[in-house]
Amino acid sequence: MLVATLLTNPDRPILDRALVENLRNAWGGGAARWLDPGIAAEFKLEAQPDTFWQVWQDLQTIGVDLAVQPAEGRRKRLLIADMDSTMIQQECIDELADEAGVGAHVAGITARAMNGELDFEAALRERVGLLKGLPESVIADVLRDRITLMPGGPALLATMKAQGGHAALVSGGFTAFTKAVATRLGFDENRANTLDVENGALTGTVMAPILGKAAKVDALLEISTRIGITPSDVIAVGDGANDLPMLQAAGTGVALHAKPAVQAQCAIRVNHGDLTALLYLQGYSRGDFAA
The residues carrying an active-site annotation are 82, 84
- 136: nearest Cα among 188, 180, 90, 176: 176
> DSSP label at 117?
S
Helix (H) or strand (E) holding 33: strand 33-36
CB-count burial class (<10 Å; 0-12, 13-18, 19+) for 112: middle
CB 259 within 8 A of CB 249: no
* CA pair distance 7, 114, nearest whole angstrom: 25
The strand pair at 234-238 and 64-70 is best described as unpaired
C-alpha to C-alpha distances, 31 to 41, 75, 128, 159, 282, nearest whole angstrom: 10, 20, 53, 26, 17
| Bridge partner residues of 201 (DSSP) | 135, 198
